[in-house]
Amino acid sequence: MSSKKIPLYKQLKQIIIKKIERGELKPGDVLPPERELAELFEMSRVTVRQAISELVNEYVLVRRHGSGTYVAENKIPHGKKLKSFSEDMSLRGMMPGSKICEKNIITNPSANMAAELRSAGNLLILKRLRLADLEPLAIETSMLPINRFPGIEDRDFQNESLYQILEDEYNIKIIKAQQKIEVGMPTPQESELLQINYTTPVFRLRQVTFDQNDTIIEIAHSVYRGDRYNIETEIYR
Amino acid sequence: MSSKKIPLYKQLKQIIIKKIERGELKPGDVLPPERELAELFEMSRVTVRQAISELVNEYVLVRRHGSGTYVAENKIPHGKKLKSFSEDMSLRGMMPGSKICEKNIITNPSANMAAELRSAGNLLILKRLRLADLEPLAIETSMLPINRFPGIEDRDFQNESLYQILEDEYNIKIIKAQQKIEVGMPTPQESELLQINYTTPVFRLRQVTFDQNDTIIEIAHSVYRGDRYNIETEIYR
DNA sequence: AAGTGGTCTAGACCACCGA
DNA sequence: CGGTGGTCTAGACCACTTC
Q: Can you tell me the distance from the alpha carbon of A163 to that of A30, in angstroms, rounded to the nearest whole number?
A: 32
Beta strands across the sheet bearing A174-184: A96-106, A123-132, A135-145, A216-225, A202-211, A174-184, B231-236
**Per-residue pLDDT at B4 exceeds 60:** no
- For the stretch A78-137, pLDDT in tens is 677 888 998 899 888 899 999 999 998 887 655 455 555 555 667 889 999 999 999 999
Q: Where are the domains of chain A?
A: 8-71, 76-231
Q: Can you tell me the distance from the alpha carbon of B63 to that of B56, in angstroms, rounded to the nearest whole number?
A: 7
Res. B212 pLDDT band, cuts 50 70 90: low
Chain A interface disruption, residue of B46, B198, B214, B237, most A CBs within 10 A? B237
φ, ψ at A152 (rounded to 5°): -70, -20
- For the stretch A102-112, pLDDT in tens is 998 887 655 45
H-helix segments, B30-126: 34-40, 45-57, 85-91
Collapsing DSSP states into helix, strand and coil, what is residue B208? Answer: strand
Q: For domain A76-231, which architecture applies? A: 3-Layer(aba) Sandwich (3.40)
Query: What CATH topology corresponds to B8-71?
Result: Arc Repressor Mutant, subunit A (1.10.10)
Least confident of A10-14, B60-64, B111-115, B124-128: B111-115
Number of CB pairs < 8 Å for A and B? Answer: 108
Per-residue pLDDT, B182: 95
Nearest CB to A178; choose among B180, B226, B234: B234
pTM summary value = 0.80
Q: Can you tell me the distance from the alpha carbon of B221 to that of B187, in angstroms, rounded to the nearest whole number?
A: 14
Query: Which residues, numbered 33 to 92 in chain A, qualify as contacts with chain B under a Cβ-Cβ cut-off of 8 Å?
Result: 46, 57-59, 76, 79-82
Q: Can you tell me the distance from the alpha carbon of A229 to that of A183, in angstroms, rounded to the nearest whole number?
A: 12
Nearest nucleotide by C1' position to the B42 CA atom: C9
Per-residue pLDDT, B229: 92
Q: Where are the beta strands (DSSP E) in chain A?
A: 61-64, 68-71, 96-106, 123-132, 135-145, 174-184, 202-211, 216-225, 231-236
Distance spanning both ends of chain B, measured CA to CA: 45
Which nucleotides of strand D lie under 7 Å from a protein CB?
2-12, 15-18
CA of B34 to C1' of C11 (A): 15
